[in-house]
Amino acid sequence: MNWKHIMIVFKKELKDIIRDRKTLFSSIILPIFLMPVIFLIVGGGTERMNEEMTTHITVALTADSYSLAAQNFLKKSLETQGEDITIVDPVEDPWEAINSKEAKLVVSLDGDFEEKLKASEPFTLKIYYDNSLSRSGGAVGSLKSAINKLNGEIAAQRLEAAGIDPDILTPVLVDTENISKTGDGNMLLMMILPMLIAMLVAVGGIPAATDLVAGEKERMTFEPLLTTRPSRMSILTGKYLTINLFSFASVISTLIGMLLAFFINPRSLSLGVGQIGGFNLDPGSVVLCLMVTLLLGMTFSGLQLAISTYARSFKEGQTYLSLLMFAVLIPSYATMMVMPSDIQLYMYLIPILNTISAFKLVLGGLTNYTGLILAVVTSLVYVALSLVIAASMFKNEKYLFRS
């Protein structure tokens, strides 16, 4: 290989990609503007949905269980237990009332609930809700919490009336303290960001890889390129570097878009759940994590170049390379809910999983140098294997000029 020839090929391919405005716009420019829109819309929608489920909870009695005493009981008991609970007028049809937004929840009381309450006997309060509507299904928990508080108050009053200390019912006092180093917003980011980066690094170079060999075959410029002074390995290396550059450029543009979304609304990346910040980053872990990510991109760039070399045309190359996306999507979604403390050692040895695991580890403020070093070493092996496959394709005219 001749590095002068490699750089000539690299510059030539880079200029061709820059001239392709459609690919440049869709893979580099569009994500910078699209990511803020996506996160702001989705994050704002999630935040509104959470507020709708847990605030302004309207509760109505069914008409057949309505009485002035029942209405007053709900107003005096439930409204005082939950400041976001409001008792509204009774309704005939619970389903119709919930779906027409007259009430989020509908309840019914036993007809003789007053007598049972005075006799210290239990009575039934039945809750009607529609689980297909988030505003109704999500409000059930808040109403149940208010009822539990009411039960506690009534039980305490009965014990005091009987001359018994209510504290006798709570022999164990529970106190909680959250010692997690990451907030709710950070946890959600740990689920989304590693998966997104791994997917982008692995498939970001597909548009460039498809065009660099399969596209040139279709345009009939590939054979003339092979007759020039650069050797096949120099041409291969120049194209390989171009795919890598394009892949990481697409990742950087997407991350820039996410940063813009964060600056516009810091809660957008957490989808409205908590705040993002307070990361405890270990410099050594960050460096190893970035190395694993870089090597993952290099591995998939080699595979994409090999597949593009095998393809006879641009369309065939697109078909084959699109299948490569499934190899990325399956492990990405399978590990989406995995938390840093749940990562197993074998996950650092598998492509895609190693990058996701490394990012989860760093974002979670944990350190595992053994796993990260294993990920770097195995990734180097995968890069070498992908380049061997690509080089063998490039050297073999059976695949290079397949018809």
Q: What pLDDT does residue 275 have?
A: 56
pLDDT classification of 374: cutoffs 50, 70, 90: very high
In percent, how much of the chain has pLDDT > 90? 9
Count of Cβ atoms closer than 10 Å to residue 171 Cβ: 6
Q: What pLDDT does residue 39 have?
A: 67
pLDDT classification of 388: cutoffs 50, 70, 90: very high
Residues 145-177 pLDDT 10s: 888 888 888 888 888 888 888 777 777 777 776
State the Cα–Cα distance between residues 97 and 103, nearest whole angstrom: 6
pLDDT classification of 220: cutoffs 50, 70, 90: confident
**What fold does the segment set 55-169 form as a domain?**
abc type-2 transporter like fold (3.40.1710)
Q: Which of 186-190, 248-252, 286-290 has the lowest mean pLDDT?
A: 186-190
pLDDT classification of 77: cutoffs 50, 70, 90: confident
Angle formed by the axes of helices 232-264 and 30-54, nearest 10°: 40
Average pLDDT over residues 347-371: 87
Q: Which residues pair with 107 in a beta bridge?
A: 61, 127
Predicted confidence (pLDDT) at residue 273 exceeds the cutoff of 90: no
* 375 or 199: which leads in pLDDT: 375
* 22 or 330: which leads in pLDDT: 330
Predicted confidence (pLDDT) at residue 277 exceeds the cutoff of 60: no
State the Cα–Cα distance between residues 74 and 69, nearest whole angstrom: 9
Q: Where are the alpha helices (DSSP H) in 62-139?
A: 68-81, 94-99, 113-118, 134-137
State the Cα–Cα distance between residues 308 and 315, nearest whole angstrom: 10
pLDDT classification of 50: cutoffs 50, 70, 90: low
**What is the pTM for the complete model shown?**
0.69
Q: What pLDDT does residue 164 have?
A: 84
pLDDT classification of 274: cutoffs 50, 70, 90: low
Residue 105: left (phi > 0), alpha (psi -120 to 50), or beta?
beta
Predicted confidence (pLDDT) at residue 385 exceeds the cutoff of 90: yes
Could you state, in order of their start, the residue ranges of all structural domains in the chain? 3-48+182-400, 55-169
Count of Cβ atoms closer than 10 Å to residue 299 Cβ: 23
Q: What pLDDT does residue 295 have?
A: 92
Residues 303-346 pLDDT 10s: 999 998 888 888 888 888 888 888 888 888 888 888 887 888 89
Q: What pLDDT does residue 375 have?
A: 92
Average pLDDT over the chain, rounded to an integer: 81
Q: What pLDDT does residue 386 have?
A: 92
